[in-house]
């Protein structure tokens, strides 16, 4: 394994402690700070330090062949952006997510040039429309749980296709940012060089487990595995 730990996101002394997993699952699944609170009650400091920002370039380097937006991608500072970048996918390289991923329009191009630091590094790639996205929780190279997440609230996000699970299982032990983390995987649609519509499964991004939203993950299983690993 190779580890890329960049910088703390939160002051862990201010994190809440929650003992009731039922309450935790019912009321806090969309709050990205509460998982740490539950684990903190195990009298361990292992996850207290587990707050970090992963840059796009951190995981793109070792996992590029599995990444959804690797082919044709490049990096530019904000001051280097020009009109030829419009219409492409763009996000900040920084793990702080100064600019979350989206298609670069003329309007957002103007906003970025006027409001973001001129030396902020941006990741740019050909645009692919993400149709579905899934989050996986991985501990010591093993998939513990997973969940669909969607902007469509009516979508049954409990179901994750077997081919997506198999995709993650095929590379999960090749590289890890930490012993416990989350990875988001997307199913995208795009026009290839022959102007034919393609579908592709690929990595969208890696995140710190302690600060990732839980969606519909199997929280009891996740906490049970973490207890065993930490105690």
- Report the distance separating Cα 75 and Cα 37, nearest Å: 36
Question: In DSSP terms, which residues pair with 103 in a beta bridge?
Answer: 89
In which band, very low, low, confident or very high, does the pLDDT at 51 lie, cut at 50, 70 and 90? low
Nearest to 8 by CA among 212, 222, 225, 211: 211
What is the value of pTM for the model shown? 0.78
pLDDT at residue 36 is higher than 80: no
Per-residue model confidence as pLDDT tens digits over 173-187: 999 998 889 999 999
**Cβ–Cβ < 8 Å for 1, 176:** yes
Confidence at residue 220, expressed as pLDDT on a 0 to 100 scale: 86
In which band, very low, low, confident or very high, does the pLDDT at 44 lie, cut at 50, 70 and 90? very low
Over the chain, what is the mean pLDDT?
A: 78
- Report the distance separating Cα 179 and Cα 50, nearest Å: 10
Higher local confidence (pLDDT), 7 or 56: 56
pLDDT at residue 79 is higher than 60: yes
């Amino acid at each position: 394994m190779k580890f890329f730990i960049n910088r703390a996101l939160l002051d862990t002394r201010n994190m809440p402690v929650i003992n009731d997993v039922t309450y935790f699952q019912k009321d806090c699944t969309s709050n990205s700070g509460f998982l740490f609170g539950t684990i903190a009650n195990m009298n361990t400091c292992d996850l207290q330090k587990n707050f970090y920002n992963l840059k796009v370039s951190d995981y793109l380097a070792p996992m590029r062949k599995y990444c959804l937006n690797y082919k044709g991608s490049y990096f530019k500072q904000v001051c280097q952006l020009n009109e030829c970048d419009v219409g492409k996918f763009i996000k900040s390289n920084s793990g702080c997510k100064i600019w979350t991923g989206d298609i670069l329009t003329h309007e957002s191009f103007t906003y970025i040039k006027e409001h973001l630091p001129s030396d902020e590094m941006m990741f740019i790639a050909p645009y692919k429309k993400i149709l579905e996205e899934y989050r996986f929780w991985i501990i010591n190279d093993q998939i513990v749980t997973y969940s669909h997440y969607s902007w469509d609230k009516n979508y049954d996000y409990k179901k994750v296709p077997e081919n997506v699970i198999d995709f993650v299982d095929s590379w999960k032990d090749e590289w890890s940012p930490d012993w416990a983390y989350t990875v988001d995987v997307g199913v995208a649609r795009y026009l290839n060089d022959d102007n034919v519509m393609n579908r592709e499964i690929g990595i969208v991004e890696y995140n710190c487990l302690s600060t990732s939203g839980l969606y519909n993950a199997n929280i009891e299983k996740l906490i049970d595995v973490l207890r065993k690993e930490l105690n």
